[in-house]
A = this chain, B = another copy of it.
Amino acid sequence: MITIAVIGAGAVGSYYGALLARAGHDVRFLLRRDLETVHKDGLRIHSPQGDFHLPTVTAYASPAEIGPVDWVICSLKATALDSARDLIAPCLGPETKVVALMNGYGLERQFAEWFGPERVFGAMAFVCINRGDPGVVHHLDYGRVSIGHVQDDPGKLEKLHALFASSGIDVVSAPNLLYARWEKLGWNIPFNGLSVAAGGLGTATILADPLLRATAERAMREVVAAGNADLAASGSDTRLDIEEIVERLFALTATMGEYRTSMVIDYLSGRELEVEAILREPSHRAAILGVSVPTIDALYALVRAAEFRRRGLITPLTP
């Protein structure tokens, strides 16, 4: 039996962990807020693909209780990256693989430094999902997971692909990890960025406003340009097709309705925003690569200003 630790069981970790558990794998969740409820009532997933309930869920309050496993799936918020090392380490045996199922640029490099590159994978979930009450996840739509290995080892990647596919997860092996990261950022930067910078908007409102929509497209094109420069710098021949990405991601977003990005959910509920992972790191990488990304930079500055206002680090004027 394959053993899996899910570190950071927010909406994404709970959902995919539940799919893996439903498929019969030995999934052990690290929980904090929901631990008691999940011990008592299990995990409930509401989904257009069929609701399901796991009445008995293995969950712990500390990674030491989980112990070494075959796979660690780390789905912490990017803002908790600093704590990831200590949370993951107790779950590592000599052969344990680590999957960063998280938002943002550069995570896997950090993981590779800590744990060795041969065992580190990245995973990007294209999924519309929210947390409900403790122990409840609302899966709204989509669910595809794009995966890559830090060293782009196809043999290693095949194992993760098989694990996800056997659990009914729509999984795609990316041509390479860097490509997959930038493709995901192609959606995250414009829509997470604008949803907060424009004052708390859903995606349908952004698309319906011609100026905001044009701003989203400019940001998306800047992401692709930076991504292609990054791919070139890494020695890869793979490139993102800018027109294909713009057309596909806008068409996809148009089917989402008034979707709340993860960043706007954090913003509205007073939680820390993933500004560094989604905006700062790509902006810095673009600067190092010599790619001009003024729209991304403006979104970065304004999203951070929004967070700083809320935290009282900058003070707005009073009427």
Contact = CB atoms under 8 A, between A and B. Distances in A.
Nearest to A269: B319
Contact of A215 (B202, B297, B318): B297
A233 interface: no
Given A211-B300, A300-B211, A201 B317 contact: yes
A260 interface: yes
Interface string A185-204: 00000000000011111100
A309 B199 contact: yes
A297 B214 CA distance: 9
Interface residues of A, number: 39
A286 B319 CA distance: 33
Q: In the complex, which of the residues A205, A298, A302, A309 has the most CB atoms of chain B within 10 Å of its own CB atom? A: A298
Q: Provide the main secondary structure of the chain A interface.
A: helix
Contacts of A202: 317
B214 A301 contact: yes
B317 A218 contact: no
Q: In the complex, which of the residues A199, A300, A308 has the most CB atoms of chain B within 10 Å of its own CB atom? A: A199
A298 B209 CA distance: 13
Given A297-B218, A302-B198, A209 B317 contact: no
B298 A201 contact: no
A201 B314 contact: yes
A269 B318 CA distance: 10
A136 B258 CA distance: 47
Interface of A: 197-202, 205, 208-209, 211-212, 214-215, 218, 222, 258, 260, 264, 268-269, 294-295, 297-302, 304-306, 308-309, 314-319
